[in-house]
Structure 1
Amino acid sequence: MREVLFLVKHAPGGFQAISLQESIVTQGETLDELEANIRDALRSHFKPGKGPESIRFHFVDDTFLAL
């Protein structure tokens, strides 16, 4: 696997990341913490040497406007 794509969005208290290819969801108060938590989740999810070569973030902003 070359790359894992995560959708990243604001969540209460920080950020949430959801993988589009794997069953991985994690969160962090800051982007640095989120990155560390994603790396930990990937290490737990894949066997050594079988994980992705890179991680891509796609930031999503769900804006709601009341009329």
Structure 2
Amino acid sequence: MDQEIIFLVEEAPEGGYTARALGHSIFTEGEDLDEIRSNVRDAVRCHFEDKDMPRVIRLHIVKDEVMAV
């Protein structure tokens, strides 16, 4: 059992966010970060059985920012 699962959260080009688990086949989307948090919890609960459930979900939020020179 893994103690922790890590999700890479990125802004989607069409708006909202996507979240992809590292090392597992779990993917979800959401309109905002609150929805991503909720959807990630739901996806993890659906993916794992109780005995294999990670204790911690870590979100690594990547945000691109463009600045003028």
TM-score normalized by structure 1?
0.84
C-alpha displacement of 1:49: 3.1
Stretches of structure 2 that go unaligned for 5 or more consecutive residues are none
The one-letter amino acid paired with 2:59 is F
- The AA in structure 1 aligned to 2:4 is E
Aligned to 2:7: 6
Instruction: Compute the displacement of 1:46 (Å).
Output: 0.4
Q: 1:24, 1:30 → 2: CA distance?
A: 18
RMSD: 1.7
Would you identify which runs of 4 or more consecutive aligned residues in structure 1 move more than 4 Å? none
> How far apart are 1:63 and its partner, in Å?
6.0
| Count of aligned positions | 65
Q: TM-score, normalised by structure 2?
A: 0.82
Task: Name the amino acid aligned to 2:25.
Answer: S
Q: Distance in 1 between matches of 2:63 and 2:38?
A: 22
Deviation (angstroms), 1:6: 0.6
Which structure features the higher share of strand residues?
1
Determine the C-alpha separation between the residues in 1 that align with 2:40 and 2:61. 15
